[in-house]
Structure 1
Amino acid sequence: MPPYEEIASPAELHADCQAVSRRLQDAAVKATRPAPSLHFDELPREVAKRDIQISEAAQRLANALHLHLD
C-alpha cells in the first residue's frame, strides 16, 4: 500500500484547479458589476411573488417533526 494513497491523480487535480479557476472568474465578474440603483423611479413597479412548493418528502418530514406545513 503506497503511503500517499489518498492523493488524487494529476488529471483529477488539474480538473479541480480548472473548476476552481472558472468559479473564481465568475466571482470576479459578479463582484465588479455595478450596484443596483437605489432610486425609487428606477425600481420595477410590479414584482411577482414566487410560489412556494412543498414537496411530499418535506411534508412528511415536517409532520414527523410536528411542524404541520399544510
Structure 2
Amino acid sequence: MTSYDDAATLAEMHDDCRACGTNLGLERELARAARRATRPAPSILAADQVEAPKQDVQVSQAAARLAAALHFHLE
C-alpha cells in the first residue's frame, strides 16, 4: 500500500466529508456564501454613496509641540 492508497471508497469518503461538514456547521456557512454570491453588486456611483460624518481628531499639546519641532503643520 502506498501513501496514495486509501482503504475507503469514494462514496465512504464523500459521506465522511458530509458528516464533518454537518458537525462543523459548514452547511450554514455554504448557504450564507451562496446568498451573498447571488446578491447584486453594490453601486459604485458617487450619487449612491452615503455621506458619513468625519470624525474629529484631537491633537494633544505634546503632539503639537513635537510636530512643530519637526516642522509638521497640524491643522
Name the TM tier (shorter chain).
Answer: 0.3 to 0.5
Q: Which has the higher helix share?
A: 2
Higher relative contact order (CA 8 A, sep 6+): 1
Which TM-score applies when normalising by structure 2? 0.39
* Greater Rg over alpha carbons, structure: 2
| TM-score normalised per structure 1 | 0.41
